[in-house]
Structure 1
Amino acid sequence: MVRFPAPLQPGDRIGVTAPSQGVEGAAEARIDFCVSTLRDAGFDVVVGEMMDGSGITSGPAAERAAELTDMLCDPAIRCVIPPWGGETAIDLVDLLDWDALAAAEPTWLVGYSDLSTVLLPITTRLGWATLHGDNLADTPYEAPAGLLKWLDLASGPGPHRQRDSGLISEWVRFEEDAHATEWKRGSTGQWSLHGSDSLDVSGRLIGGCIDTLVNLAGTPYGDVAAFGREHADDGLIVYLEAAEDEAATICRNLHGMRLAGWFDHARAILIGRTKARDNARLTQRDAVLDALGRLDLPIVFDLEIGHVPPHLPLVNGALATVTFDGDTREIVQHLR
């Protein structure tokens, strides 16, 4: 059974902490603006101690794990969000107080990129729904037509309907405008479907960033096979995106995740749009097909679910229906 946090409402308290990389330099002005944006929307925002941006992480792993645990267990805090991802959040997953978390009521944990490393085990081990969407630094950006903001999904059970935006955007550099609220328009693009002419499939969502999640595969913190068995009646829709790793590395990683049982109960696979490098002999798309094409599952490519904005937020554990038929390209999420 998936446990969904209470709907997030204005007046609720949001905790900000950096389980991975902290904040320094020009980024400080951006994060200050993002905190102010949430406060202007009526939320009570508290910023933790683990925010130092001078190193690869915001502080020692034990201290980061303790602050994240405390925020998630504090009944006054209804949502926790990091400034952004980073590189090595994996160093704290076994330091979280899992017993305390299991005894607590679910709290929204929001983020993506390196935060996938924490979002996924919170869902697979505790059964809490988690929200793969914007980090704090991206929260002020307006959602283009067809997409929702993560705050929309966290505010109620749905149905939350999103469709192919047709857009490929770019971030505004903090040095250029720390108060940006509109993505830079880049070009256009659409979802594409492999393995079928049309698609109408439902299942429980689970996934995140390949570059970081592969390191959890085969461990107690990345047991998607067990999560799939638990939800075998619903089936899974596994969503994944490549951040930076080049295509041959992504290919190896996906094979490893396949061998660890990540797709044993999948009914479909969603792949995010990426700007990660191709290999001289292998494209990113072909890397996915090399590893997962043999599964005879429909694969939807080029969703707005990763490191290429704009962003389509997904809830780990939500019951979702993906439809791809003619001009209809949409995903509907029910938080139940």
Structure 2
Amino acid sequence: MTAARAPIWPRPGRAVAVTAPAGRVEPVALAAGLEALRALVGQRPLLAEGLATAEGYLAGPDQQRAARLGRLWADETVDLIVCARGGFGSSRLLPLLDLPAMAAAGKCLLGFSDITCLVLALACRGLVGLHGPVLTQLPRLDQASLADVSALLAGRPPWPGRLTGQGAGGGVAEGPLLGGNLTMLCHLVGTPWQPDLDGAILCLEDTGEAPYRLDRMITKLELTGLLDRVAGVALGGLDAAGQSPPEHLEALMNRLRVRGLPLVWDLPFGHGARNRILPMGARARLDGAAGLLETGLDL
């Protein structure tokens, strides 16, 4: 896969919009997230119609959630769309969206976790997608992650970026940055929206998964041959705190070390307070000895 092109970065006077493509949004979390976003952007965000709609564990029916996102994408006053939360349901929108047209329009989409499938779908169609904080995560972010969001909102994308983790060896590799939530990546395998990982720096994070489930998922990527195609692997947080408990980490590292690829763990992205923005589809460099992930090299 060749590197994707940069989106149109937020411009002065343009709206920052919020929508919910996946799980229902709890009112208290929504209010806190909107307050945090308002403080960063200096104005009230544009809220998608029916943002607080709930249908079971989803933020409304599939067609309604897809239509919300589509309307914001077509709104010429909007440059950046922030997803309210992850949860479940984004992948159900993939057949309902005109992804080539969305990629051609060049807007910024910010989100992670369940939103991974939307971010990857854009990246694999030629537009950098932003794997980073959702709205409801903003109130608990650390300063470095908030600085990423603040810079983006001001139209000053924070790339090239340097994220430091723990090196596990394997040398240095460079390629398009792809991946995100491990569960969602496995969910896409075998579908028309499976990403092309040839030569990619594969970044992975997750939460709420037992070690044996992490083992099962990385084994699936191995059995399908996808791990044979990547140039290196970058691991973020593996639990709700954004940490990597030893038993969770070993479930992945035991399978990855033997491949001899550049490998870095404990990088600051995931479900905890550390969730730096990763430009999916842009060029990245991974140094397994130095424990360094450099992102957005071509932005």
Shared fold, TM over 0.5: yes
- For the residue of structure 2 that corresponds to 1:224, the secondary structure is coil
Does the CA contact (< 8 Å) of 1:15 and 1:79 recur in 2?
yes
Structure 1 residues 335 and 70, CA, compared in 2 at 3 Å: closer, same or farther? farther
Structure 1 residues 299 and 153, CA, compared in 2 at 3 Å: closer, same or farther? farther
Query: How much does 1:307 deviate?
Result: 1.3
- For the residue of structure 1 that corresponds to 2:286, the secondary structure is strand
Residue 61 of structure 2 is aligned to residue 89 of structure 1:
no
Of the three residues 292, 296, 299, the one matched with 1:333 is 296
Of the three residues 22, 46, 58, the one matched with 1:20 is 22
Structure 1 residues 204 and 78, CA, compared in 2 at 3 Å: closer, same or farther? same
Q: Corresponding residue for 1:317?
A: 281
Query: How much does 1:67 deviate?
Result: 1.6
Structure 1 residues 153 and 267, CA, compared in 2 at 3 Å: closer, same or farther? farther
Q: How does 1:34-53 map to 2 (within 5 A)?
A: 34-40=36-42, 45-53=46-54
Query: How much does 1:36 deviate?
Result: 2.4
Question: Which letter does structure 2 place at the counterpart of 1:71?
Answer: L
Q: Corresponding residue for 2:206?
A: 242
Partner Cα distance (1:54, 1:35) in 2: 25
Deviation readout 1:208-246 (Å, 9 max, x if unpaired): 111222111121112324xx2xxxxxx311100121111
Q: How does 1:115-134 map to 2 (within 5 A)?
A: 115-124=115-124, 126-134=125-133
Does the CA contact (< 8 Å) of 1:3 and 1:127 recur in 2?
yes
Partner Cα distance (1:146, 1:115) in 2: 18
Structure with higher Rg: it is: 1
Unaligned runs of 5+ in 1: 165-190, 229-234
Does the CA contact (< 8 Å) of 2:33 and 2:138 recur in 1?
no
Residue 279 of structure 2 is aligned to residue 305 of structure 1:
no
Structure 1 residues 276 and 161, CA, compared in 2 at 3 Å: closer, same or farther? closer
Deviant stretches of 4+, over 6 Å = none
Does the CA contact (< 8 Å) of 1:113 and 1:208 recur in 2?
yes
Structure 1 residues 322 and 85, CA, compared in 2 at 3 Å: closer, same or farther? same
Partner Cα distance (2:44, 2:176) in 1: 30
Does the CA contact (< 8 Å) of 1:162 and 1:312 recur in 2?
no
Query: How much does 1:286 deviate?
Result: 2.3
Identity of counterpart residues, as a percentage? 27
Larger proportion of strand: 1
- For the residue of structure 1 that corresponds to 2:273, the secondary structure is coil
Deviation readout 1:10-33 (Å, 9 max, x if unpaired): 322222110011323422321331
Does the CA contact (< 8 Å) of 1:35 and 1:45 recur in 2?
no
- For the residue of structure 1 that corresponds to 2:85, the secondary structure is coil
Question: Which letter does structure 1 place at the counterpart of 2:162?
Answer: Q
Deviation readout 1:86-134 (Å, 9 max, x if unpaired): 12322221221335435x411111011111122111211x211100111
Q: How does 1:226-241 map to 2 (within 5 A)?
A: 228=198, 235-241=199-205
Q: TM-score, normalised by structure 2?
A: 0.85
Partner Cα distance (1:35, 1:302) in 2: 27
Of the three residues 271, 283, 305, the one matched with 2:235 is 271
Does the CA contact (< 8 Å) of 1:6 and 1:107 recur in 2?
yes
Structure 1 residues 73 and 290, CA, compared in 2 at 3 Å: closer, same or farther? farther
Query: How much does 1:52 deviate?
Result: 1.9
Deviation readout 1:145-204 (Å, 9 max, x if unpaired): 59841343573466433343xxxxxxxxxxxxxxxxxxxxxxxxxx222234xx443221
Q: How does 1:1-336 map to 2 (within 5 A)?
A: 1=2, 2-40=4-42, 45-53=46-54, 55-98=56-99, 100-101=101-102, 104-124=104-124, 126-139=125-138, 143-144=142-143, 148-153=147-152, 155-156=155-156, 159-164=159-164, 191-196=165-170, 199-225=171-197, 228=198, 235-275=199-239, 283-323=247-287, 329=292, 331-336=294-299
Structure 1 residues 269 and 309, CA, compared in 2 at 3 Å: closer, same or farther? same
Does the CA contact (< 8 Å) of 1:12 and 1:43 recur in 2?
no
Structure 1 residues 118 and 99, CA, compared in 2 at 3 Å: closer, same or farther? closer
Question: Which letter does structure 1 place at the counterpart of 2:169?
Answer: G
State the superposition RMSD in angstroms.
Answer: 2.8
Deviation readout 1:284-333 (Å, 9 max, x if unpaired): 2222134333422121111111112211211101112234656x745242
- For the residue of structure 2 that corresponds to 1:138, the secondary structure is helix
Partner Cα distance (1:27, 1:158) in 2: 27
Deviation readout 1:258-282 (Å, 9 max, x if unpaired): 33343343221001122279xxxx9
Greater RCO (CA < 8 Å, at least 6 residues apart) = 2
Structure 1 residues 158 and 21, CA, compared in 2 at 3 Å: closer, same or farther? closer
- For the residue of structure 1 that corresponds to 2:86, the secondary structure is coil
Question: Which letter does structure 2 place at the counterpart of 1:275?
Answer: D
